[in-house]
A and B are shown apart, each in its own frame.
Chain A
């Protein structure tokens, strides 16, 4: 069967959503994964946007922004950010969500704010110097990381992105691991999986360190280890993720009208 790595990543992410869940997706790939799930196996998945656009599905292609006209054309309610992002997401009412990451570490902390020269990160030098590259900041991902009952992190699997420790924690995962997250009393449970274009990582229930849970038909344990910037542990039960079914691919491509995931 012919499909791209990004299509596999989106389908693997979509499979993590159950029917009836209250969910929130980011813009771009994560939105495609979510709406794929709704079309494929979770017709009662309820999705909304962080600014409070309810009851809608995208029309005319992938939205350029999470609340642009492509996702506002068939809404049943428009509210606001204090409502959607704070009262629903940050307050702990959302079941499942997807966020992206520019950099991610072994405890599932996500950086979307900036990349520093190695050795000059704020946590290393005790100063907040300017990053070498300024990124986009947290957006609504911090609210998801703090408040969602569980959430998924989607990222391209590259050594430079998968770091021992992120330069900047924009969205907290399990922080320094173990019970470190509990210290802050966050309402949400933390990241349930990191889903990449090569495989799936899940946290150890005690150490909260992410370990390799599954690879795809086109990848391997070795390839994933090579592309991870920390000493990734492998689950004794590591397995191959089932390939997309014809129905799954058909449903994903119906959602991804413009073919943005099909590019290899």
Chain B
């Protein structure tokens, strides 16, 4: 039995460093992502991250606002119905963050290529358009022939594009539930978390619930991330807040807007960090910052029934703490 549970502080200090290629998921603006992990990155002052993102989320929005993202490859840089991502937008417009644009299918396909060990992936998406012709890494060349290279189908002789595959140094992946060994179950869309878990050199899970391994044995088809690809597991309830975790809690409309408004300015960002990043030191205190009433309201989600089959295996805070040797 290999117990991989570690604290959030340990995870960030061990698995993030300047200049690394960091991937995160689900990376849905309003859905699953390891937002709590990003908060801890900001608290520890992580800088110079090369970020691989399906989409921007409130995690990347915050880290970019705090000056932590040097470069980002992304399919969608907004917050869907919540609007433009003010922190990221500010970092890109000021030149602090280099943003290399792809599309929402482009990043997952490139990660899949990395997972399969392919150096490139043939593509029609992001081909014949400015995602190909504009490269933030080589801004002096337009149209750029290097970002999406042209290849010839060896069977038909027809031209198409080629994506460079991605193998991130680390992927931090939000899962709904994990066991202590690193088996993970995701509820809702996976986005590219399955591919990410196979492409990254190291994988860390951030889980809303820790469950007994018997849960995995009951639903092995749903364990799309098996323990053998996972190095560490962090237990962090409400860890996607203010976005939503399917089956657990809805997105917090009020905080989503307030957060994005604060990230619009440097002063607002500092205020946000004081109030919602530096104000707690563990997940119990984090939940106090969100507030009991707010958590009750957000947990009253129309998707709550999706968790019903798993509830009997959920470990309490005390049981998880015991598994972690009291930490």
Residues of A within 8 A of B (CB): 27-28, 49-53, 59-60, 62-70, 72-73, 78-82, 85-86, 89-90, 113, 122-123, 125-131, 133-143, 145-147, 168-172, 175, 181, 183-187
* Complex Cα spacing A70 to B192, Å: 21
B237 in the interface, Cβ–Cβ < 8 Å?
A: no
- Inter-chain contacts of A78 with B (CB < 8 A): 187-190, 246
Q: B102 → chain A, closest Cβ, in Å? A: 7
- Per DSSP, chain A at the interface is loop
Q: Does any Cβ of A come within 8 Å of B128's Cβ?
A: yes
Give 8 pairs: A residue, B residue, CB < 8 Å, sorted on A: A50-B105, A53-B188, A81-B189, A86-B109, A90-B125, A139-B76, A142-B105, A142-B126
B86-141: which have CB < 8 Å to A? 89, 92-93, 95, 99, 101-106, 108-109, 112, 124-131, 133-136, 138-141
How far in angstroms is the closest Cβ of chain A from B309? 14
Given A69-B250, A128-B134, A170-B130, verify A64-B80 contact (CB < 8 Å): yes
Residues of B within 8 A of A52 (CB): 189-190
> Is the CB–CB distance between A73 and B302 below 8 Å?
yes
Among A67, A113, A168, find the residue whose CB has the most chain B CB atoms closer than 10 A.
A67
Are A140 and B103 in contact, with the CB atoms below 8 A?
yes
Residues of B near A123 (CB, < 8 A) are 133, 142
Q: A128-B140, A134-B93, A142-B126 are in contact. List 12 more A-B contacts (CB 8 A).
A: A59-B302, A65-B28, A80-B189, A80-B195, A81-B54, A128-B142, A142-B103, A142-B105, A142-B129, A143-B103, A146-B127, A183-B128
Instruction: Report B231-268 CB contacts with A as 1/0, cut-off 8 Å.
Output: 00000000000011010001101001000000000000
Sort A-B residue pairs by CB-CB distance and give the 10 closest, nearest first: A65-B30, A136-B78, A51-B189, A184-B128, A142-B103, A139-B76, A73-B302, A138-B103, A80-B190, A140-B104
CB contact list, B194-213 vs A, under 8 A = 194-195
A169–B301 alpha-carbon span in the complex (Å)? 39
Q: Which residues of B contact A67 (CB under 8 A)?
A: 28, 30-31, 188-189, 191
- Give A122 to B77 CA distance when docked, in angstroms: 20
Q: Looking at the assembled complex, report how far the CB atom of A240 sits from the nearest CB atom of chain B, in whole angstroms.
A: 32
Asked if B30 contacts A68 (CB within 8 A), the reply is: yes
Judge whether B105 and A68 touch: CB under 8 Å. no
Question: Is B127 touching A69 in the complex (CB atoms < 8 A)?
Answer: no
Interface code B166-198, partner A: CB below 8 Å = 1, 0 otherwise?
Answer: 000000000000000000000111111111000
CB distance from A136 to the nearest CB of B (A): 3
- The CA-CA distance from A181 to B189 in the complex, in Å, is 32
- Which residue of A is nearest B84, CB measured? A136
Q: Which residues from chain B contact A64 at a C-beta distance below 8 Å?
A: 30, 80-82, 251, 253, 256
